[in-house]
A and B are shown apart, each in its own frame.
Chain A
Amino acid sequence: DAKTTQPPSMDCAEGRAANLPCNHSTISGNEYVYWYRQIHSQGPQYIIHGLKNNETNEMASLIITEDRKSSTLILPHATLRDTAVYYCIVRARNSGYALNFGKGTSLLVTP
């Protein structure tokens, strides 16, 4: 799986958009970008994933650059309950079972 780089921490004011970046400059053509988050002491929560095109669901939007070397997860209106560690994972289908979560970005949403 391609290696990812995320900032260790970020702050965001409640109600504002939270933009979480992820660099994956060695991504291969068949590798997807997945985002999960983990609220303290809870199980990881799947957020969104994509291959090339931008994706949006009820939780977030995923913007992938044209060269696919980086992506941004956007939480359009952050709430206090979005405070969590966010993980960007790059992996190909059929590449094994383990999800390599890395260290992620600790997002703090403040009132």
Chain B
Amino acid sequence: ETGVTQTPRHLVMGMTNKKSLKCEQHLGHNAMYWYKQSAKKPLELMFVYSLEERVENNSVPSRFSPECPNSSHLFLHLHTLQPEDSALYLCASSQVRDETQYFGPGTRLLVL
């Protein structure tokens, strides 16, 4: 266990559904990240929160909406997704400006 948990681990949703992914870190870190990993592709950084402020948003479509209510929790709200959004969504955390990121187990998302 890395100290980063994600729920749910698997999710199937239709294109009209709204769902949320949750991430929690128990490491006392103050930066949290969302990554997307599609089949046969490298990890893509989606969002970064540092000290609870969003500091990076890499041209992610608005159907993905992150929320960081405190330094231990991170959410990714999903609505009207497309089948090409099916992927492994990974959460990570680190200390601010420490390059060592610790990852959660991921949520495997399938959009039908």
Contacts and interface: CB of A to CB of B under 8 A. Distances in A.
Interface of A: 32, 34, 41-46, 49, 91, 93-94, 97-103
Interface stretch (B12-20, B66-74, B76-84, B102-110): B102-110
Interface in B81-112: 88, 90-92, 97, 99-106, 108
A44 B43 contact: yes
Interface residues of B, number: 26
Given A97-B33, A101-B42, A43 B104 contact: yes
Given A32-B99, A34-B99, A43 B45 contact: no
B55 A101 contact: no
Contacts of B48: 97
A46 B42 contact: no
Contacts of B90: 43-44
A42 B38 CA distance: 13
Interface in B29-77: 31, 33, 42-43, 45, 48, 55-56, 58
Nearest to A97: B48
Contacts of A103: 42
Contacts of A101: 42-43
Given A43-B106, A46-B103, A97-B55, 20 more contacts: A32-B99, A41-B88, A42-B105, A42-B106, A43-B4, A43-B6, A43-B91, A44-B43, A45-B103, A46-B101, A91-B99, A93-B97, A93-B99, A97-B48, A99-B43, A99-B99, A99-B101, A100-B42, A101-B42, A102-B42
Contacts of B99: 32, 34, 49, 91, 93, 99
Contact of A43 (B42, B55, B58, B105): B105
Contacts of A100: 42
